[in-house]
Structure 1
Amino acid sequence: MSKEISKFLSLVLRHDPGKAGISLDSNGWTSIATLVAGVQKAGFPEFDRATLDAVVENNEKKRFTISEDGNMIRAAQGHSAEVDLALQPSTPPDILYHGTAFAKLASIREHGLVPGKRQQVHLSNDYETAVKVGSRHGRPIVLVVDAPRMAAEGIVFFQADNGVWLTDAVPADYLSTDQA
Protein backbone atom coordinates (compact mmCIF):
# COMPACT_ATOMS: atom_id res chain seq x y z
CA MET A 1 0.00 0.00 0.00
CA SER A 2 2.87 2.44 0.61
CA LYS A 3 3.47 2.79 -3.14
CA GLU A 4 -0.20 3.61 -3.67
CA ILE A 5 -0.10 6.11 -0.79
CA SER A 6 3.11 7.66 -2.12
CA LYS A 7 1.52 8.17 -5.54
CA PHE A 8 -1.57 9.69 -3.96
CA LEU A 9 0.55 12.04 -1.84
CA SER A 10 2.46 13.08 -4.96
CA LEU A 11 -0.84 13.81 -6.68
CA VAL A 12 -2.30 15.94 -3.90
CA LEU A 13 0.91 17.72 -2.85
CA ARG A 14 2.08 18.47 -6.40
CA HIS A 15 -0.93 18.71 -8.65
CA ASP A 16 -4.43 18.41 -7.18
CA PRO A 17 -4.78 19.08 -3.43
CA GLY A 18 -8.55 19.05 -3.80
CA LYS A 19 -8.46 15.25 -4.27
CA ALA A 20 -7.78 15.06 -0.52
CA GLY A 21 -9.86 18.08 0.38
CA ILE A 22 -6.78 20.09 1.38
CA SER A 23 -5.21 23.32 0.24
CA LEU A 24 -1.59 24.34 -0.16
CA ASP A 25 -0.24 27.66 1.02
CA SER A 26 1.71 29.90 -1.37
CA ASN A 27 4.89 27.89 -0.71
CA GLY A 28 3.26 24.49 -1.19
CA TRP A 29 2.92 23.60 2.51
CA THR A 30 -0.10 22.02 4.18
CA SER A 31 -0.74 20.89 7.74
CA ILE A 32 0.12 17.25 8.33
CA ALA A 33 -2.97 16.84 10.53
CA THR A 34 -5.16 18.21 7.73
CA LEU A 35 -3.41 16.01 5.16
CA VAL A 36 -3.85 12.85 7.25
CA ALA A 37 -7.56 13.56 7.73
CA GLY A 38 -7.99 14.35 4.02
CA VAL A 39 -6.19 11.22 2.86
CA GLN A 40 -8.31 9.10 5.21
CA LYS A 41 -11.50 10.62 3.80
CA ALA A 42 -10.21 10.14 0.23
CA GLY A 43 -10.23 6.36 0.62
CA PHE A 44 -7.25 5.42 2.78
CA PRO A 45 -8.87 5.03 6.24
CA GLU A 46 -5.80 3.32 7.73
CA PHE A 47 -3.48 6.22 6.79
CA ASP A 48 -1.95 7.88 9.85
CA ARG A 49 1.08 9.93 10.87
CA ALA A 50 3.25 6.82 11.27
CA THR A 51 2.39 5.74 7.73
CA LEU A 52 3.16 9.23 6.44
CA ASP A 53 6.53 9.27 8.21
CA ALA A 54 7.38 5.86 6.73
CA VAL A 55 6.43 6.97 3.21
CA VAL A 56 8.49 10.17 3.53
CA GLU A 57 11.49 8.31 4.96
CA ASN A 58 11.42 5.45 2.45
CA ASN A 59 10.60 7.40 -0.70
CA GLU A 60 13.52 6.70 -3.02
CA LYS A 61 13.22 10.06 -4.75
CA LYS A 62 12.78 12.01 -1.49
CA ARG A 63 9.73 13.72 -2.98
CA PHE A 64 8.39 15.10 0.29
CA THR A 65 9.73 17.61 2.81
CA ILE A 66 8.51 17.90 6.39
CA SER A 67 8.94 21.29 8.06
CA GLU A 68 11.49 21.72 10.83
CA ASP A 69 8.73 21.83 13.46
CA GLY A 70 7.26 18.58 12.09
CA ASN A 71 3.78 20.03 11.55
CA MET A 72 3.76 20.81 7.81
CA ILE A 73 4.56 18.90 4.63
CA ARG A 74 5.07 19.74 0.97
CA ALA A 75 6.36 18.15 -2.20
CA ALA A 76 10.04 18.95 -2.75
CA GLN A 77 9.48 19.78 -6.45
CA GLY A 78 7.47 18.78 -9.49
CA HIS A 79 4.44 20.98 -8.97
CA SER A 80 1.89 21.79 -11.59
CA ALA A 81 -0.13 23.54 -8.87
CA GLU A 82 0.89 27.18 -8.58
CA VAL A 83 3.34 27.43 -5.66
CA ASP A 84 6.56 29.28 -4.89
CA LEU A 85 8.98 26.96 -3.13
CA ALA A 86 10.98 30.04 -2.06
CA LEU A 87 14.24 28.37 -3.07
CA GLN A 88 17.34 30.51 -3.25
CA PRO A 89 19.29 30.70 -6.52
CA SER A 90 22.20 28.24 -6.52
CA THR A 91 25.34 27.81 -8.57
CA PRO A 92 24.88 24.60 -10.57
CA PRO A 93 27.53 21.92 -10.98
CA ASP A 94 29.59 21.81 -14.16
CA ILE A 95 27.33 19.22 -15.76
CA LEU A 96 23.64 18.58 -15.35
CA TYR A 97 21.62 15.93 -17.15
CA HIS A 98 18.08 15.59 -18.40
CA GLY A 99 16.61 12.21 -19.22
CA THR A 100 13.85 11.99 -21.79
CA ALA A 101 12.49 9.73 -24.49
CA PHE A 102 14.42 9.51 -27.74
CA ALA A 103 11.13 10.25 -29.56
CA LYS A 104 11.09 13.76 -28.04
CA LEU A 105 14.58 14.68 -29.26
CA ALA A 106 13.51 16.50 -32.46
CA SER A 107 11.13 18.75 -30.55
CA ILE A 108 13.74 19.42 -27.87
CA ARG A 109 16.31 20.37 -30.49
CA GLU A 110 13.82 22.88 -31.87
CA HIS A 111 12.32 24.28 -28.64
CA GLY A 112 14.79 23.32 -25.91
CA LEU A 113 13.57 21.94 -22.60
CA VAL A 114 10.36 23.52 -21.38
CA PRO A 115 8.48 22.66 -18.18
CA GLY A 116 5.33 21.39 -19.86
CA LYS A 117 2.66 20.98 -17.17
CA ARG A 118 5.14 21.55 -14.37
CA GLN A 119 6.45 24.88 -13.17
CA GLN A 120 10.12 24.23 -13.99
CA VAL A 121 12.44 21.92 -15.90
CA HIS A 122 13.97 19.16 -13.77
CA LEU A 123 17.65 18.31 -14.10
CA SER A 124 19.85 15.82 -12.28
CA ASN A 125 23.49 15.89 -11.38
CA ASP A 126 24.02 12.22 -12.17
CA TYR A 127 23.74 10.33 -15.41
CA GLU A 128 22.12 7.21 -13.93
CA THR A 129 19.16 9.15 -12.58
CA ALA A 130 18.66 10.78 -15.97
CA VAL A 131 18.61 7.35 -17.65
CA LYS A 132 15.93 6.16 -15.18
CA VAL A 133 13.81 9.26 -15.82
CA GLY A 134 14.13 8.91 -19.58
CA SER A 135 13.25 5.22 -19.41
CA ARG A 136 9.82 6.07 -17.98
CA HIS A 137 8.89 7.73 -21.27
CA GLY A 138 10.22 5.25 -23.83
CA ARG A 139 13.67 4.57 -25.26
CA PRO A 140 15.84 6.86 -23.11
CA ILE A 141 18.24 9.50 -24.18
CA VAL A 142 20.28 11.64 -21.83
CA LEU A 143 20.90 15.28 -22.64
CA VAL A 144 23.91 17.09 -21.21
CA VAL A 145 23.21 20.62 -20.01
CA ASP A 146 25.93 23.27 -20.16
CA ALA A 147 24.90 24.68 -16.78
CA PRO A 148 27.98 26.89 -16.20
CA ARG A 149 27.43 28.73 -19.48
CA MET A 150 23.73 29.11 -18.75
CA ALA A 151 24.49 30.54 -15.31
CA ALA A 152 27.17 32.85 -16.72
CA GLU A 153 24.59 34.16 -19.18
CA GLY A 154 22.11 34.94 -16.41
CA ILE A 155 19.88 31.87 -16.33
CA VAL A 156 18.98 31.07 -12.73
CA PHE A 157 19.11 27.61 -11.14
CA PHE A 158 17.60 26.33 -7.94
CA GLN A 159 18.17 23.11 -6.03
CA ALA A 160 15.13 21.46 -4.45
CA ASP A 161 15.24 19.86 -1.02
CA ASN A 162 15.70 16.44 -2.63
CA GLY A 163 18.68 17.52 -4.78
CA VAL A 164 16.82 17.94 -8.08
CA TRP A 165 18.01 20.99 -10.02
CA LEU A 166 15.36 23.33 -11.37
CA THR A 167 15.33 26.11 -13.94
CA ASP A 168 12.60 27.79 -15.95
CA ALA A 169 13.75 26.45 -19.34
CA VAL A 170 16.87 25.20 -21.12
CA PRO A 171 17.32 26.66 -24.61
CA ALA A 172 18.44 24.09 -27.17
CA ASP A 173 21.87 25.65 -27.69
CA TYR A 174 22.83 24.65 -24.11
CA LEU A 175 22.10 20.97 -24.78
CA SER A 176 24.21 18.21 -26.20
CA THR A 177 24.26 14.44 -26.36
CA ASP A 178 26.66 11.81 -27.54
CA GLN A 179 23.73 9.50 -28.27
CA ALA A 180 22.28 11.22 -31.29
Structure 2
Amino acid sequence: MLGECEEHGYYRGESCPVCGEKGKFLMNDRELNSLGRIIAGVLRHFPEKLGIMIDGHGWVDITEFVEAIGLGRSGFHWLRNHHIEAIALTDPKGRYQIDGGMIRATYGHTIDISLDDLPEAEIDEFFYPVTEEEIDIILEGGLNPIDRRNVHLSGSIEKAIEAGKVRTDKPLILRIDGKKAKKDGIKIYHAGKDVYVTDRIDAKYLSKVDEKTLKKNMNGK
Protein backbone atom coordinates (compact mmCIF):
# COMPACT_ATOMS: atom_id res chain seq x y z
CA MET A 1 0.00 0.00 0.00
CA LEU A 2 1.04 3.58 -0.64
CA GLY A 3 -0.06 6.19 1.87
CA GLU A 4 0.60 9.71 3.08
CA CYS A 5 1.26 10.71 6.67
CA GLU A 6 0.21 14.26 7.47
CA GLU A 7 3.39 14.81 9.47
CA HIS A 8 6.02 12.64 7.76
CA GLY A 9 4.93 12.48 4.13
CA TYR A 10 4.59 9.54 1.74
CA TYR A 11 5.27 5.97 2.79
CA ARG A 12 4.91 2.37 1.59
CA GLY A 13 3.18 -0.13 3.86
CA GLU A 14 0.17 -0.23 6.14
CA SER A 15 1.28 2.66 8.36
CA CYS A 16 3.83 5.47 8.64
CA PRO A 17 7.21 3.92 9.55
CA VAL A 18 8.09 6.97 11.67
CA CYS A 19 5.03 7.48 13.88
CA GLY A 20 2.98 4.35 13.20
CA GLU A 21 -0.11 6.29 12.18
CA LYS A 22 -2.27 5.00 9.36
CA GLY A 23 -2.33 8.00 7.09
CA LYS A 24 -4.24 8.86 3.95
CA PHE A 25 -4.69 5.95 1.53
CA LEU A 26 -3.25 6.63 -1.95
CA MET A 27 -3.26 3.26 -3.73
CA ASN A 28 -3.22 -0.47 -3.08
CA ASP A 29 -0.36 -2.84 -3.89
CA ARG A 30 -1.83 -3.91 -7.23
CA GLU A 31 -2.18 -0.31 -8.38
CA LEU A 32 1.27 0.53 -7.03
CA ASN A 33 2.93 -2.33 -8.90
CA SER A 34 1.04 -1.64 -12.13
CA LEU A 35 1.72 2.09 -12.10
CA GLY A 36 5.32 1.51 -11.04
CA ARG A 37 5.94 -0.67 -14.11
CA ILE A 38 4.43 1.99 -16.37
CA ILE A 39 6.57 4.75 -14.87
CA ALA A 40 9.79 2.72 -15.11
CA GLY A 41 9.05 1.58 -18.66
CA VAL A 42 8.15 4.99 -20.03
CA LEU A 43 10.99 6.90 -18.37
CA ARG A 44 13.64 4.33 -19.26
CA HIS A 45 12.58 2.57 -22.43
CA PHE A 46 9.48 3.58 -24.40
CA PRO A 47 8.17 7.14 -23.89
CA GLU A 48 6.72 6.99 -27.41
CA LYS A 49 4.17 4.36 -26.35
CA LEU A 50 2.29 7.03 -24.41
CA GLY A 51 3.30 9.90 -26.68
CA ILE A 52 5.48 11.37 -23.93
CA MET A 53 8.00 14.11 -24.71
CA ILE A 54 11.26 13.39 -22.89
CA ASP A 55 14.17 15.85 -22.93
CA GLY A 56 17.86 15.17 -23.47
CA HIS A 57 18.45 14.47 -19.78
CA GLY A 58 15.45 12.19 -19.35
CA TRP A 59 13.04 14.69 -17.78
CA VAL A 60 9.26 14.48 -18.27
CA ASP A 61 6.59 16.94 -17.15
CA ILE A 62 4.55 15.21 -14.42
CA THR A 63 1.26 16.82 -15.44
CA GLU A 64 1.71 15.66 -19.04
CA PHE A 65 2.73 12.22 -17.77
CA VAL A 66 -0.46 11.91 -15.69
CA GLU A 67 -2.61 12.98 -18.65
CA ALA A 68 -0.87 10.52 -20.98
CA ILE A 69 -1.35 7.60 -18.59
CA GLY A 70 -5.01 8.52 -18.15
CA LEU A 71 -5.52 8.51 -21.91
CA GLY A 72 -3.31 5.56 -22.77
CA ARG A 73 -4.06 3.09 -19.97
CA SER A 74 -7.42 2.01 -18.58
CA GLY A 75 -8.16 2.04 -14.86
CA PHE A 76 -6.21 5.16 -13.95
CA HIS A 77 -8.96 7.80 -14.05
CA TRP A 78 -8.10 8.63 -10.42
CA LEU A 79 -4.44 9.39 -11.12
CA ARG A 80 -3.08 12.79 -10.07
CA ASN A 81 0.37 14.36 -9.91
CA HIS A 82 0.89 13.53 -6.24
CA HIS A 83 0.48 9.81 -6.96
CA ILE A 84 3.47 9.91 -9.34
CA GLU A 85 5.47 11.95 -6.83
CA ALA A 86 4.64 9.52 -4.02
CA ILE A 87 5.88 6.52 -6.01
CA ALA A 88 9.09 8.31 -6.96
CA LEU A 89 9.87 9.61 -3.48
CA THR A 90 9.28 6.24 -1.79
CA ASP A 91 11.06 4.09 -4.37
CA PRO A 92 13.27 1.75 -2.31
CA LYS A 93 16.08 1.81 -4.87
CA GLY A 94 16.10 5.58 -5.37
CA ARG A 95 15.55 5.23 -9.11
CA TYR A 96 13.78 8.55 -9.65
CA GLN A 97 14.40 12.25 -9.30
CA ILE A 98 11.78 15.00 -9.03
CA ASP A 99 12.49 18.67 -9.58
CA GLY A 100 10.19 21.58 -10.40
CA GLY A 101 7.22 19.53 -11.56
CA MET A 102 9.42 17.20 -13.62
CA ILE A 103 10.39 13.56 -13.10
CA ARG A 104 13.08 11.29 -14.53
CA ALA A 105 14.65 7.91 -13.97
CA THR A 106 18.27 8.21 -12.91
CA TYR A 107 19.53 4.89 -14.27
CA GLY A 108 18.52 1.81 -16.26
CA HIS A 109 17.86 3.57 -19.58
CA THR A 110 17.93 2.02 -23.02
CA ILE A 111 16.87 5.28 -24.69
CA ASP A 112 19.55 7.76 -25.68
CA ILE A 113 19.77 10.40 -22.95
CA SER A 114 22.59 12.09 -21.04
CA LEU A 115 22.98 11.80 -17.27
CA ASP A 116 25.94 14.16 -17.00
CA ASP A 117 23.99 16.49 -14.71
CA LEU A 118 23.83 13.88 -11.93
CA PRO A 119 26.15 14.42 -8.95
CA GLU A 120 29.59 12.90 -9.39
CA ALA A 121 30.41 9.88 -7.24
CA GLU A 122 32.09 10.70 -3.94
CA ILE A 123 33.48 7.20 -3.35
CA ASP A 124 36.61 5.86 -5.04
CA GLU A 125 35.97 2.12 -5.29
CA PHE A 126 33.26 0.41 -7.30
CA PHE A 127 32.23 -3.15 -8.12
CA TYR A 128 30.69 -4.98 -11.05
CA PRO A 129 29.34 -8.56 -11.30
CA VAL A 130 30.35 -10.87 -14.13
CA THR A 131 30.02 -14.53 -15.03
CA GLU A 132 32.88 -16.99 -15.20
CA GLU A 133 32.44 -17.17 -18.97
CA GLU A 134 32.88 -13.43 -19.55
CA ILE A 135 35.39 -12.33 -16.91
CA ASP A 136 38.53 -12.82 -19.04
CA ILE A 137 37.00 -10.95 -21.97
CA ILE A 138 36.07 -7.99 -19.75
CA LEU A 139 39.42 -7.92 -17.95
CA GLU A 140 41.04 -7.64 -21.37
CA GLY A 141 38.57 -5.34 -23.14
CA GLY A 142 37.04 -3.29 -20.32
CA LEU A 143 33.44 -2.62 -19.34
CA ASN A 144 31.07 -1.38 -22.03
CA PRO A 145 27.28 -0.92 -21.99
CA ILE A 146 25.45 -4.04 -23.14
CA ASP A 147 21.69 -3.79 -22.88
CA ARG A 148 21.53 -0.33 -21.32
CA ARG A 149 22.74 3.15 -22.17
CA ASN A 150 25.40 3.24 -19.44
CA VAL A 151 27.62 0.92 -17.46
CA HIS A 152 26.04 0.41 -14.03
CA LEU A 153 28.35 -0.05 -11.03
CA SER A 154 27.74 -0.90 -7.37
CA GLY A 155 29.30 0.84 -4.39
CA SER A 156 29.87 -2.36 -2.42
CA ILE A 157 30.72 -5.99 -3.02
CA GLU A 158 27.47 -7.04 -1.36
CA LYS A 159 25.33 -4.99 -3.75
CA ALA A 160 27.33 -6.21 -6.74
CA ILE A 161 26.72 -9.82 -5.67
CA GLU A 162 23.01 -9.05 -5.30
CA ALA A 163 22.91 -7.56 -8.81
CA GLY A 164 24.93 -10.43 -10.25
CA LYS A 165 22.63 -13.11 -8.87
CA VAL A 166 19.97 -11.94 -11.29
CA ARG A 167 22.04 -13.61 -14.02
CA THR A 168 24.03 -16.33 -12.27
CA ASP A 169 24.03 -18.19 -8.95
CA LYS A 170 27.72 -17.55 -8.33
CA PRO A 171 28.76 -14.19 -9.77
CA LEU A 172 32.38 -13.13 -9.86
CA ILE A 173 33.07 -9.54 -8.89
CA LEU A 174 35.36 -6.99 -10.48
CA ARG A 175 36.82 -4.10 -8.51
CA ILE A 176 37.05 -0.74 -10.27
CA ASP A 177 39.80 1.67 -9.23
CA GLY A 178 37.57 4.74 -9.27
CA LYS A 179 40.21 7.02 -7.81
CA LYS A 180 42.57 6.39 -10.70
CA ALA A 181 39.76 6.47 -13.27
CA LYS A 182 38.46 9.82 -12.02
CA LYS A 183 42.00 11.20 -11.92
CA ASP A 184 42.29 10.24 -15.60
CA GLY A 185 39.09 12.14 -16.42
CA ILE A 186 36.52 9.34 -16.32
CA LYS A 187 33.18 10.67 -15.09
CA ILE A 188 31.27 8.40 -12.70
CA TYR A 189 27.88 9.61 -11.47
CA HIS A 190 25.82 8.72 -8.40
CA ALA A 191 22.49 7.60 -9.86
CA GLY A 192 20.71 5.66 -7.08
CA LYS A 193 21.10 4.59 -3.47
CA ASP A 194 23.94 2.26 -4.41
CA VAL A 195 24.05 2.63 -8.18
CA TYR A 196 26.69 4.52 -10.14
CA VAL A 197 26.78 5.05 -13.90
CA THR A 198 29.48 5.83 -16.42
CA ASP A 199 30.02 5.58 -20.17
CA ARG A 200 32.65 2.83 -20.02
CA ILE A 201 35.53 1.59 -17.88
CA ASP A 202 38.87 0.73 -19.47
CA ALA A 203 40.49 -2.58 -18.57
CA LYS A 204 43.40 -0.89 -16.78
CA TYR A 205 41.07 0.12 -13.94
CA LEU A 206 39.73 -3.40 -13.39
CA SER A 207 40.83 -6.22 -11.11
CA LYS A 208 39.19 -9.39 -9.83
CA VAL A 209 38.01 -9.57 -6.23
CA ASP A 210 39.80 -12.54 -4.66
CA GLU A 211 37.86 -15.67 -3.74
CA LYS A 212 38.37 -15.26 0.02
CA THR A 213 36.90 -11.76 0.04
CA LEU A 214 34.06 -12.85 -2.21
CA LYS A 215 33.11 -15.79 0.02
CA LYS A 216 33.22 -13.56 3.09
CA ASN A 217 30.75 -11.14 1.54
CA MET A 218 28.52 -13.89 0.15
CA ASN A 219 28.22 -15.36 3.64
CA GLY A 220 27.43 -11.96 5.10
CA LYS A 221 30.34 -12.10 7.53
2:179 pairs with one of 140, 148, 156: 148
Question: RMSD of aligned C-alpha atoms?
Answer: 2.3
Aligned to 1:39: 69
Of residues 165, 168, 173, the one that matches 2:199 is 168
Alpha-carbon separation, structure 1, partners of 2:103 and 2:121: 26
Task: Return the offset for 1:94.
Answer: 2.8
Q: What SS class does the counterpart of residue 70 from structure 2 fall into?
A: helix
User: Which of the two has greater strand per residue?
Assistant: 2
**Structure 1 pair 79–126 and aligned structure 2 pair: CA distance change class (3 A):** same
Name structure 2 gaps, 5 residues minimum.
Answer: 1-29, 215-221
> What's 1:157 paired with?
188
Find the counterpart in structure 1 of residue 124 from structure 2.
94
Structure 2 distance, partners of 1:23, 1:160, is 22
Gap runs ≥5 in structure 1: none
* 2-structure distance, mates of 1:76, 1:131: 21
Which structure exhibits the higher relative contact order, with contacts defined as CA atoms closer than 8 Å and separated by 6 or more residues? 1
Percent identical among aligned pairs is 30
| Structure 1 residue 89: Cα displacement | 7.0
2:139, 2:203 within 8 Å by CA — same for their partners in 1?
yes
Counterpart residue identity of residue 60, structure 1: P
Runs of 4+ in 1 over 4 A off after TM superposition: none
**Using the alignment, how far apart are the partners of 1:178 and 1:92 within structure 2?**
24
Structure 2 residue identity aligned to 1:49: N
Separation in 1 of the partners of 2:141 and 2:81? 44
Query: Following superposition of structure 1 onto structure 2, how do residues 1-180 of structure 1 map, counting pairs within 5 Å?
Result: 1=30, 2-46=32-76, 47-67=79-99, 69=100, 71-87=101-117, 90=120, 92-139=122-169, 140-160=171-191, 162=193, 164-176=195-207, 177-179=209-211
Q: What is the distance in 2 between the residues matched to 1:13 and 1:5? A: 12
TM-score (norm: length of structure 2)? 0.70
Question: What letter matches 2:203 in structure 1?
Answer: A
Q: Which has the larger radius of gyration?
A: 2
Deviation string, structure 1 residues 97-126 (Cα, Å, up to 9, x no partner) = 112444432332232211123222111212
Is the contact made by 2:150 and 2:198 (CA closer than 8 Å) also made in structure 1? yes
Shift of 1:73: 0.5
Change (3 A) 1:91 1:7: closer
Question: What is the CA-CA distance between 1:53 and the residue it aligns to?
Answer: 2.6
